[in-house]
């Protein structure tokens, strides 16, 4: 299920699961994150993507991203997100400053969005520097678990979409 409206007060009151002191070495390491960048075949890179194609790409990936964890995924288009919500998403490391700036023209660039699970351990930014920026976060020093979570999402998405890939240069 995708949700575009989020109650900022309730969202701010919750604590992301990766911020709860748990996992290996949690007394020293607060959290860890793994990021994967992917681009879709048949689309120019984000820096060359027209507003119409950016919106098309976002609508193309939305159902695939919302299906990642069954119906427990939230979808937030940045053009619809209030400045407060963009700030909350940045503070929780679900999006970057580039995807969700505080204000200005970049805040409303078409086709920019984020999909994330309710536990906030997986988020996928759409049309940031790459078409998809998959990131998995875990509490403590659980890099292996974060890598597995990111890789699982990557494989699921690659099974449903064609990623741009070159045998010599990779993704």
> Is 39 or 69 the better-scoring residue by pLDDT?
39
pLDDT of 98 higher than 70: yes
d(CA 90, CA 96): 6
Per-residue pLDDT of 46-63, as tens digits, reads 999 999 999 999 999 999
d(CA 86, CA 11): 12
pLDDT of 65 higher than 90: yes
State residue 1's pLDDT score.
37
User: Region 103-119: what's the mean pLDDT?
Assistant: 81
* Residues 96, 97, 99, 103, Cα dihedral to 10°: 150
> Is 21 or 126 the better-scoring residue by pLDDT?
126
Backbone angles phi, psi at 69, to 5 degrees: -110, 45
What is the pTM for the complete model shown? 0.86
User: Region 107-111: what's the mean pLDDT?
Assistant: 78
Band the pLDDT of 3: cuts 50, 70, 90: very low
User: Region 3-17: what's the mean pLDDT?
Assistant: 70
Q: Which of 28-32, 136-140, 150-154, 159-163 has the lowest mean pLDDT?
A: 28-32
124 by DSSP, 3-state: which? strand
Beta-sheet strand order (sheet of 31-38): 31-38, 132-139, 122-126, 113-117, 73-77
Residue 85: which of 100, 75, 74 has the closest Cα?
100
State residue 37's pLDDT score.
97
pLDDT of 2 higher than 50: no
> Is 43 or 11 the better-scoring residue by pLDDT?
43
């Amino acid at each position: 299920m995708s949700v575009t409206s989020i109650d900022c007060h309730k969202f701010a009151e919750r604590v992301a699961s990766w911020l709860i002191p748990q996992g290996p070495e949690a007394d020293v390491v607060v959290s860890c994150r793994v990021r994967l960048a992917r681009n879709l075949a048949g689309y120019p890179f984000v820096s060359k993507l027209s507003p119409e194609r950016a919106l098309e790409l976002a609508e193309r990936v939305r159902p695939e991203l919302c299906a990642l964890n069954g119906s427990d995924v939230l979808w937030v288009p940045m053009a619809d997100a209030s400045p407060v919500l963009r700030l909350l998403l940045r503070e929780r490391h679900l999006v970057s400053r580039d995807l969700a700036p505080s204000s200005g023209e970049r805040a409303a660039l078409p086709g920019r969005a984020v999909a994330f699970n309710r536990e906030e351990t997986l988020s996928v930014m759409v049309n940031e520097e790459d078409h998809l920026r998959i990131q998995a976060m875990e509490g403590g020093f659980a890099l292996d678990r974060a890598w597995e979570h990111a890789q699982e999402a990557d494989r699921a998405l690659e099974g449903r979409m064609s990623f741009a890939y070159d045998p010599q240069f990779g993704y």
